[in-house]
Chains A and B, each alone.
Chain A
């Protein structure tokens, strides 16, 4: 079955440590995205990638880094430079076909808590 998998679901980290969240999809989607959601707020775009070996900063990229070495994978690293990293992180992938049809799928999310 095609889908998008995020891991880990829950993650605890000490201040000053980097942590990497995994996002893998087998949907053959070109575009992948990382979002952050804080309690009671909407999703904010961290980074997105349209194609392998290319990615763009979203609205809140500071303190985060990504890579897109393979079409299937778009890992997000939360660095020690991110001042308030405790949040819910969502990965998504999408495709847009001629005629305006397409798909958008989300991972189940990763809840990061900094102790």
Chain B
């Protein structure tokens, strides 16, 4: 069983829709990252969370430490949001483990 499970694996949305990507993990963590990977391979960090909620523009990330669950929300989705979104957990001892990613396609 993977330590980090993401859902859905693939997601197609219409422009303007509200999108949610979920991440569940099974180990104790120091922090959780939400990342974005574009074609070509480059990865950027969107959020780092250890509790609560963070917002940046149209992106919102939440984490529930007790339930070992995090969500990434995109409001008013746009075709430029199309990318792979990855959840990564920083385990105690600094081991950083990735989920398999969610492929998001937003159609205009």
**A: contact size bracket:** 20 to 34
In the complex, A75 Cα to B100 Cα: how many Å?
25
Stretch at the interface among B14-22, B75-83, B87-95: B87-95
* Minimum CB distance partner of A37 in chain B: B41
Residues of A within 8 A of B41 (CB): 37, 88, 90, 108-109, 111
In the complex, A103 Cα to B31 Cα: how many Å?
11
Q: How many residues belonging to B are interface residues under a CB distance threshold of 8 Å?
A: 25
Contact digits for B34-63, partner A, Cβ 8 Å, 1 yes 0 no = 010000011111001111000000000000
**Cβ-defined contact, A108 with B98, below 8 A:** no
- What is A's interface to B at a CB cutoff of 8 Å? 30-31, 33, 35, 37, 41-45, 48, 50, 56, 58, 88, 90, 92, 94, 96, 99-106, 108-109, 111
